[in-house]
Amino acid sequence: MKVLVAVKRVVDYKVQIRVKSDNSGVETQNVKMSVNPPDENAIEEAVKLKEQGLANEIISVSIGDDKSQDVLRTSMAMGIDRSILVKSQNTLEPLAVAKTLKIIIDKEKPDLVLMGKQAIDDDSNQTGQILSALLNWPQGCFISNLKIENNKVFISREIDEGIENLETSLPAVLTCDLRLNTPRFASLPNIMKAKKKPLETIDIDTLGIDTSSKIKTLKVIEPPKRKAGIMVNDVKELVQKLKYEAKVI
């Protein structure tokens, strides 16, 4: 089985987000960037499938500028065999990302695609679902458990009501929740080794697809600030305040 993992480079989840003063977007210069957290779970799952002998080749793909090589190197340090960077200067919308991935998938012919359930920058939560529809492959979203046996795929999905268990088959597109596994840290020797693993670069303009934006960002602003609250001295005061000041109990 061949597994393809999609990886996005995003502002690290610990960074305090700053809106640009001209309201054109969020500051991404000189801030720490990392692998989108649930994409790490996708990488980890692919590496586990290889360790279990279920996958024989695991590859990662990222779409972005040259700097996205970092996240691909990180994925290879975690155990991915080789990577593909689709070079694009522009930020793509989920539909364009899915179309780009489809072209790579048509060429690489993986049996399984793993990706994060959402990117923590634009929080769209769309790309895996779109890709599944474009490929006409089964879709499994927000998974927290995966078992593959004789081409059968058993997944548990996190839904608002609890857990949904589905059975499907390969090839499939699965999007991962953070609870799927615990991503490993890349060890120093593995980081060194990853530098020598193959990283192919493809220019997005050579793919012949429309990746133009369909949505225009008019402005990006800071969220309204909550007004400062107070500290209460004890439980009695808290309950009194809730009852007679805030009037919510």
Partner 1 sequence: MSVLVVAEHDNKNLKSSTLNTISAAEKLSEDIHLLILGNKIEDLAKSSKSIQLVKKVIICDHEKLENQIPELSSPIISNLAENYSHILAPSSTFGKNLLPRVSAQLDVTQISDIIGIESQDTFIRPIYAGNAISYVQTNQKINLMTIRPTSFEKCEEAGGDAAVENIPFIDSEVKTTFVSREVSKSDRPELGNARVVVSGGRGLENSDNFKLLYDLADKLNAAVGASRAAVDSGYIGNEYQVGQTGKMVAPELYIAVGISGAIQHLAGMKESKVIVAINKDLEAPIFNIADYGLSSDLFQAIPEIIKELDLLNQIES
- Residues within the interface to ligand FAD (CB under 6 A): 13, 37, 120, 178
Distance CA 223, CA 10 (A): 20
In the complex, minimum distance from the CB of residue 102 to partner 1, in angstroms, rounded to a whole number: 10
Residue bearing tokens 């290879």 = 76
In the complex, minimum distance from the CB of residue 36 to partner 1, in angstroms, rounded to a whole number: 11
Which tokens belong to 132? 């599944």
CA-closest candidate to residue 155, choices 165, 169, 170: 165
- Out of 49, 142, 202, 204, the residue judged to bind partner 1 by CB under 8 A: 142
Distance CA 153, CA 20 (A): 45
In the complex, minimum distance from the CB of residue 37 to ligand FAD, in angstroms, rounded to a whole number: 4
- Out of 91, 129, 145, 190, the residue judged to bind partner 1 by CB under 8 A: 129
- Out of 2, 121, 190, 199, the residue judged to bind partner 1 by CB under 8 A: 121
In the window 198-237, what residues touch partner 1 (CB under 8 A)? Answer: 214-223, 226, 229-232, 234-236
Contact by Cβ (8 Å): 131, 98: yes
CB nearer to ligand FAD: pick between 37 and 138: 37
What's the burial of 42, exposed, middle or buried (CB within 10 Å: 0-12/13-18/19+)?
Answer: buried
CB nearer to partner 1: pick between 188 and 212: 212
| Helix H or strand E encompassing 135 | helix 127-135
Which tokens belong to 39? 């994409």
The one of partner 1, ligand FAD, none whose footprint includes residue 158, by CB under 5 to 8 A per kind, is partner 1
Residue bearing tokens 């970092």 = 70
**122: contact with partner 1 by CB under 8 A:** yes
Contact partners, residue 231, CB within 8 Å, separation at least 6: none
In the complex, minimum distance from the CB of residue 186 to ligand FAD, in angstroms, rounded to a whole number: 17
Distance CA 155, CA 75 (A): 23
In the complex, minimum distance from the CB of residue 228 to partner 1, in angstroms, rounded to a whole number: 8
- Out of 126, 191, 193, 199, the residue judged to bind partner 1 by CB under 8 A: 126
CB nearer to ligand FAD: pick between 8 and 50: 8
In the complex, minimum distance from the CB of residue 13 to ligand FAD, in angstroms, rounded to a whole number: 4
In the window 31-50, what residues touch partner 1 (CB under 8 A)? Answer: 38
Vertex 160 angle, CA 154 and 166, to 5°: 15
- Out of 6, 49, 84, 130, the residue judged to bind partner 1 by CB under 8 A: 130
CB nearer to ligand FAD: pick between 94 and 110: 94
In the complex, minimum distance from the CB of residue 226 to partner 1, in angstroms, rounded to a whole number: 5
Distance CA 13, CA 4 (A): 24
Which residues, in sequence order, are bridge partners of residue 4?
59, 113
